[in-house]
Amino acid sequence: MQTTRNFVRCRLAPRFLLAYLCLCTPVLAQQEQVALRGGKLLTVSHGTIDDGVVVMENGRITAVGSVNLVHVAKNARVIDVKGMTVYPGLIDSETALGLTEISAEPMTNDLIESSEEIMPHMHVYDAFHAESELIPVTRLNGITNAIVAPANRDTLPGQDSFVQLAGRSAEEMLLVRDVALPLNFSGEQRRDERGESRKFPSTRMGLAAQLRQTFLDAQDYAQRWTDYEKRKADYEKAKSEAPAKADDKNQGKDKKQPPSPPKHDLKLEALLPYLEGKKLVVLAAEEANDLETAVGLTREFNLKFVLNHISHAQSVLDYVASLKVPVIVGPIYEDPKPDERYDAVYSLPAQLNKRGVKIAFASYDAHNSRNLPYQAGFATAFGLPHEEALKAVTLNAAEIWGVADRLGSLDVGKTANIVVANGDPLDVKTDVKQVFIEGKEIPMTSRQTRLRDQYSEQ
């Protein structure tokens, strides 16, 4: 890539000019404008533009279009990306980034608080390690955003955060705290499967009963607070109406005490936004039977949910489609079961897409999050259209996590998370040349590139 300070000849259609001017407030105009010119733009939202331009300013995309239609300011920094492919930053819909450094070294891991099954008051943002060496490694492959989730060993292990993989601090990188609540129901969350310590819950019945009781307790907790608020309001009202009688020396000392609030319970409190349907539950199951049980549970409590994994639910895909919820699918590298064909899991994304289900991919990993795009690419070899595969690591994910107003496509107004690569984003051969996060050129270095360079010099 060559950087030049010239600009594209202005052959601007009036409507584009108008759109452009509307977005350029005087303050923004003072910021440096950066234009990526001449690349093949995969906008995700409105098709491919060969020989296109993306303009960024003040961290946002201010123009997207064909070279001969987009105006670039005279003083803009123009980066020639001819022959390159330009696409929105990829979004990994489940990772452990920032929660782990070296898998086998316990002191570097904060993946799960495993003391109990029901831990919705655990917030990954409290552990998110912004300086993790894994983050530069990941973003060098064009992944700019991710869900950080606790490990799935418990049914309710804590709440996810949605992060941006660059920033000066965790504060800056945590775009949405407590974005969703994972609910894992695959039988793997059982305690003490061999029955050695007789610890509850050791069966799926136990897991389901425990979850049900928890949500009932949370409803009850909510009710207690509602009742309290009402009593408190009544008291305040009575008190405000009382001043006239303030001098009454017979004022009931016992009757007019303010109501005392219920005790706070962080665990139950954490569940309230989910019971109110304000936030998303990420419902994980593998097999058809678990899926149906888990969906039943969410229905009992009117939870708003998306599905996760469902790698072995091939027999109920029509049912899955009828739920009209998105699916975080995979990982498609999961082994097929002995009675399944070799490609039973590989073809799941295509099967879901065919049924109109919105899908997103996740690495379910930290160190290997950088390989997210290849999973999407591989799914195309088993019938998923390429365009849909790219959506499943960009716009679909942004929509699922409620950030599509900011991320997921090359559109004016969105955050300038942009990747420049020398080819197809989903292919292993493709080399990512430059990543922009919020319009900033990310240094294309990591601990790994430094080691490479150090030992190449010899």
Contact 379, 341 (CB under 8 A): no
Nearer residue to other proteins within complex by CB, 76 or 372: 372
> Is 421:87 a contact under the CB 8 Å cutoff?
yes
d(CA 391, CA 457): 40
87 belongs to the binding site for other proteins (CB under 8 A): no
Which residue lies nearer to other proteins by CB, 66 or 449? 449
- What residues from 150 to 169 belong to the interface with other proteins (CB under 8 A)? none
378 by DSSP, 3-state: which? helix
Nearest to other proteins of 37, 370 (CB atom): 370
- Which of 3, 4, 6, 103 binds other proteins (CB under 8 A)? It is 103
SS3 at position 100: strand
Q: Which of 32, 220, 335, 387 binds other proteins (CB under 8 A)?
A: 335
3-class state of residue 178 by DSSP: strand
**Could you say which of 175, 289, 382, 399 contacts other proteins (CB under 8 A)?**
382
- 129 interacts with other proteins by CB under 8 A: no
CA distance 428 to 159: 32
Q: Which of 17, 102, 238, 242 binds other proteins (CB under 8 A)?
A: 102
Residue range at the interface with other proteins (CB under 8 A); choices 245-253, 258-266, 273-281, 339-347: 339-347
Size of the site for other proteins (CB under 8 A): 38
Stretch that binds other proteins, among 161-169, 266-274, 378-386, 408-416 (CB under 8 A): 378-386
> In the complex, what is the shortest distance from the CB of residue 165 to other proteins, in angstroms, rounded to a whole number?
16
368 contributes a contact to other proteins by CB under 8 A? yes
Return the number of the residue (274 or 374) whose C-beta is nearest other proteins: 374
Q: Which is nearer to other proteins, 217 or 343 (CB)?
A: 343
CB 418 within 8 A of CB 54: yes
Q: If binding is defined by CB under 8 A, does position 104 make contact with other proteins? A: yes
Helix (H, G, I), strand (E, B) or coil at 246: coil
Question: Which residues lie closer than 8 Å to 224 by C-beta, 6 or more apart?
Answer: 262
CA dist list (Å): 310 to 272, 285, 383, 449: 26, 5, 18, 36
Element (H, E) at 139: helix 134-139
Among 87, 215, 378, 436, indicate the residue that binds other proteins (CB under 8 A): 378
Segment lying near other proteins (by CB under 8 A), choices 32-40, 42-50, 308-316, 444-452: 444-452
- By CB under 8 A, tell whether 342 contacts other proteins: yes
Joined together, the tokens standing for residue 377 give 């690419």
User: To the nearest 10°, the Cα dihedral for 336, 338, 343, 348?
Assistant: -50
Residue 273 interacts with other proteins (CB under 8 A): yes or no: no
Q: CB-wise, 241 or 431, nearer to other proteins?
A: 431
Give me the torsion for CA of 294, 299, 303, 307, rounded to 10°: 40
Q: Smallest distance, Å, CB 122 to other proteins?
A: 23
Distances (CA, A) of 26 to 18, 22, 29, 30, 58: 15, 10, 5, 7, 12
Binding mask 389-428 for other proteins (x = CB under 8 A): -------------------------------------xxx
- How do 432-437 and 418-421 pair as beta strands? antiparallel
Residue 186 in contact with other proteins, rule: CB under 8 A: no
Cite the DSSP H helix spans in 158-203. Answer: 170-173
Pick from 371, 394, 396, 415 the residue near other proteins by CB under 8 A. 371
User: Does the protein bind other proteins through residue 10 (CB under 8 A)?
Assistant: no
Residue 41 CB, shortest distance to other proteins, in Å, is 21
Residue 241 found at the interface with other proteins (CB under 8 A): no
CB proximity list for 410: less than 8 A, separation 6 or greater:
41, 42, 43, 44, 45, 54, 61, 64, 86, 87, 88, 418
Q: In the complex, what is the shortest distance from the CB of residue 455 to other proteins, in angstroms, rounded to a whole number?
A: 5
Secondary structure letter of residue 320 according to DSSP: H
Q: Give residue 342's Cα distance to chain centre.
A: 30
Q: Which two tokens stand for residue 3?
A: 């950087």
Residues that bind other proteins (CB under 8 A): 101-105, 134, 333, 335-336, 338-339, 341-343, 366-368, 370-371, 373-374, 377-378, 380-382, 426-431, 448-449, 451-452, 455-456
